[in-house]
Amino acid sequence: MSVIHVHDKQFHPFLSPGQIQDRVASIAAALNKDYESKKPLFIAILNGSFMFAADLFKRLTIETEICFIKLASYKGSRSTGHVITAIGLDNDIIGRDVVIIEDIVDTGKTLHEFLPQLYHQQPSSVRIATLLHKSEATVFPVKVDYLGFDIPDKFVIGYGLDYDGLGRNIPGIYKLAE
């Protein structure tokens, strides 16, 4: 891996495809064990999680389902800020064991706003699998159950993550040059 340029910025190698795949395999092994006798519903949050979700899902040997949702945030009519709606969440959630697949948890705001909506639909359980967690950037605490890498509070791209639309196709993860 070497330095790359995306738009106007320079990025340095951070996590190699091999390192990522090793962690994905470990997470899949834990999920296969923890959900052995269940039929979990995975909910992958688009766009960033598509690559992690695909690699993870391929390694699951349990009986399982997956759906993909997009969280659209818009300014509410009140000054209280953003309202998040889930587009594509058409599976019946009641009584299901749900595992959310995220690419990265940064401030935790997205999940902090989405989780109450999910709980409202009465799942039996909800766990979170995220490839990356900037735990030092946390503003809204989120309990991560399955973690790839805890990373510093730096902007990263690749393996599904973008910088202004570009970089999602890069197989490794790169960090913005200081």
Active site residues: 106
Q: Which of 40, 48, 158, 160 binds ligand IMP (CB under 6 A)?
A: 48
- Strands of the sheet containing 41-46, edge to edge, are 82-87, 65-75, 41-46, 97-105, 125-133, 146-150
Q: Which is nearer to ligand IMP, 27 or 35 (CB)?
A: 27
Closest contact distance (angstroms) between CB of 53 and ligand IMP is 12
Q: Is 128 a residue that touches ligand IMP (CB under 6 A)?
A: no
| Residue 105 found at the interface with ligand IMP (CB under 6 A) | yes
Count of CB atoms situated within 10 Å of the CB of 109: 17
Minimum distance from residue 151 beta carbon to ligand IMP (Å): 8
Q: Which of 93, 161, 170, 173 touches ligand IMP (CB under 6 A)?
A: 161
Is the Cβ of residue 121 or residue 138 nearer to ligand IMP in the bound state?
138
d(CA 177, CA 3): 9
Strands (E), 47-154: 65-75, 82-87, 97-105, 125-133, 146-150
Interface segment toward ligand IMP; rule CB under 6 A; list 13-21, 78-86, 114-122, 156-164: 156-164
Bridge partners for 73 per DSSP: 84
* Tally: H helices and E strands in the chain: 3, 10
Position 103 contacts ligand IMP (CB under 6 A): yes
Amino acid at 127: R
The residues of the shown chain that bind ligand IMP, judged by CB under 6 A, are 48, 103-110, 155-157, 161
